[in-house]
A and B are shown apart, each in its own frame.
Chain A
Amino acid sequence: MSNELLRTPLYDLHCAEGGKIVDFAGWEMPVEYSGIKNEHLTVRSRAGIFDLSHMGEFLITGSGSQKFIDNLVTNDLYRIEDGQCLYTCMCRESGAIIDDLIVYRFSEDRYWLVVNAANRDKDFAWVREHKPEDVTLEDVSLQTALIAIQGPKAQELLQPFTDLNLQNLRYYHLAEANFKDLKAVISRTGYTGEDGFEIYVAWDEAGKVWQALRSEADCLPIGLGARDTLRLEAGYSLYGHEITEETTPINTSLGWVVRFTERDFIGKEVLKAQKEAGIETAIVGLVMEGRTIPRSGYTVSADGEVIGKVTSGTFSPSLNKGVCLALVKAKYKAPGTHLQINVRSRQEGAVVERPPFIKGSIVK
């Protein structure tokens, strides 16, 4: 693998806009433009646009696609129909989480797997290794740009650019549609806790989508910094933080994407045994009582005993408080439980709260 950093088709536009560029999962990505707080609060009150072209997309086609993908993922692919998306984990036999991803079903024999940028090579190798003869697999990541528009005004702001009636596109549904004169895939998905859409277009066309939303719809560009604070307030897990190969969906509060029906899938035996034995750990939301800010890696204690650690923590721009997600022993997961977080050798009080920490505009 080369050490050369990759750039999305919008890189020059990010620089021109004053975006601060950082290395993220091998990509040069904007972490902030006008300031994380401003960007964050704009998404909560109006809408913002995100360049997510670094995300990976695998195209899977062929008559055996449904059975093949269903066997790779913990959620039940037979639950969705054409035009639907499914959030799921993909595990090893040991139950270890390889990645979390979204499956897009275009038809019974055509799908996308949308995966984390950091895991693209690992995921592709895993999927290819298991691929049967009657399935074709292609990594279309570098042909596929992704721009998200998120916020309570997302539908209103996006509607003028597409003939698709967005009102009729339900949560976790997708449509092959147009953006102006461009071919696009539009899904009602996101990672902010707000209503919103993800727009996939050909790599070289991304600039047209971005500039239309930026100039004509006056959408504020949002960097990865606010993307992280937004998802944290919404209580969404992030690969490398809440979700790792060191744990399983059952023990990270992702049991809801593991379906033990008749179907067989990789990792089923271990995960089923874990579930039957009772969960050991859980991801909980914690809100700080004082003004300190919990950060990833800080230890969490109850009555002087260490019972877990912070997996992601930040200052919440909406609540003006420190909030975090933490992996703790399951018996401490009840909302209202008082715990302590070790912040620079001081024990700071925090209370378990069920995320989302905010009331977003998302319509499920």
Chain B
Amino acid sequence: MVIEGLKYTKDHEWVRLLEGDVAEIGITDFAQDQLGDIVFVEVPEVGRVLAKGEALGVVESVKTVSDIFSPVSGEVIETNSKLHEDGDEFTPELINESPYEEGWILRVKMSDPQEYKELLDAESYKAITEEA
């Protein structure tokens, strides 16, 4: 499933534009399906400054570890507390169950909003998943 109105990367991240040039980032439905049962997520520290393309953390399923690459440049302003490994609400399966909503991973205050515009639209991303 690919959602209209979001932007995508070829590495299977999605980006939702929030108010004030904030990008909300997660991994796509295709990615979670490929990975299988997700059991661990490593999210970056709030305040960390990311460059576009930088590995910002990992998603682990039972069988494998996958890097998450930052689709845009900017500062991490929030991470999904339900994915925090030391948190009481730790429920990484949210990424399987709701990859585009409850399974969001982090929010970044973009330093170069132009980067967002250059990401793939839903149609282009869908074409990539159909080729795979």
- Interface residues of chain A, those whose CB is within 8 Å of chain B, are 31-32, 35-38, 40, 225, 228-229, 290-293, 295, 314-315, 317, 322, 344
Q: Are B40 and A314 in contact (CB under 8 A)?
A: no
Q: What residues of B have a CB within 8 angstroms of the CB of A317 in the complex?
A: 37, 62
Contact, CB under 8 Å: B90 / A291 = yes
Q: Name the residue on A nearest B40 (C-beta).
A: A293
Tell me whether A315 and B39 are in contact in the complex, defined as CB-CB below 8 angstroms, given that A225-B62, A229-B62, A295-B65 are known contacts.
Answer: yes
* Contact A315–B60 (Cβ < 8 Å): yes
In the complex, B63 has a CB within 8 A of chain A = yes
B36 within 8 A of A: yes
What's the nearest-Cβ distance from chain A to residue B35, in Å?
Answer: 10
CA distance A256 to B40 in the complex (A): 36
Shortest Cβ distance from residue A215 to the other chain B in the assembled complex, whole angstroms: 25
B42 touches A314 (CB 8 A): no
Closest to B90 in A: A291
On chain A, the residues within 8 Å of B36 by CB distance are 32, 35-36, 225
| Residue B17 at the chain A interface, CB threshold 8 Å | no
Interface size class of B (residues with CB under 8 A): 10 to 19
**A and B contact pairs by CB, cutoff 8 A, 26 listed:** A32-B36, A36-B36, A36-B37, A36-B61, A37-B37, A37-B39, A37-B62, A40-B62, A228-B63, A290-B85, A290-B86, A291-B40, A291-B86, A293-B39, A293-B40, A293-B60, A293-B65, A295-B65, A314-B62, A315-B39, A315-B62, A317-B37, A317-B62, A322-B40, A344-B42, A344-B58
Further contacts, 8 of them, CB under 8 A, given A35-B37, A36-B63, A293-B40: A35-B36, A36-B36, A36-B62, A228-B63, A291-B40, A292-B40, A292-B85, A322-B40
* B37 partner residues in chain A, CB cutoff 8 A: 35-38, 317
- Across-interface contacts of A315 in B (CB, < 8 A): 39-40, 60, 62
**B85 engages A291 (CB within 8 Å):** yes
A53–B88 alpha-carbon span in the complex (Å): 44
- Complexed CA–CA distance, A38 and B36 (Å): 11
Provide the bound-state CA to CA distance between A32 and B33, in Å: 11
- Alpha-carbon distance A280/B36, docked complex (angstroms): 38
Chain B, residues 49-74, CB within 8 Å of chain A (1/0): the string is 00000000010111101000000000
Chain B residue at minimum C-beta to C-beta distance from A229? B62
Quote the shortest CB–CB distance from B56 to chain A (angstroms). Answer: 12
Question: Bound complex: CA of A324 vs CA of B58, how far in Å?
Answer: 19
Per-residue CB contact flags for chain B residues 35-48 toward chain A (1 = under 8 Å, else 0) read 01101101000000
Residues of B within 8 A of A40 (CB): 62
Contact, CB under 8 Å: A314 / B85: no
Which residues of the other chain, B, contact A344 by a CB distance below 8 angstroms? 42, 58
What distance in Å separates the Cβ of A236 from its nearest Cβ neighbour in chain B? 17
- B90 contacts which chain A residues (CB < 8 A)? 291
Complex contacts, A295 vs chain B, CB 8 Å: 65
Tell me the minimal C-beta distance from A223 to chain B in angstroms.
Answer: 10
What's the minimum C-beta distance from B54 to chain A, rounded to whole angstroms? 14
Write out the residue numbers on chain A whose beta carbons fall within 8 Å of the beta carbon of B86: 290-291
Contact A31 B63 (CB under 8 A): yes
- B71 CB to closest chain A CB (Å) equals 21
Q: What's the Cα separation between A291 and B86 when bound, in Å?
A: 8
CB distance from B96 to the nearest CB of A (A): 8
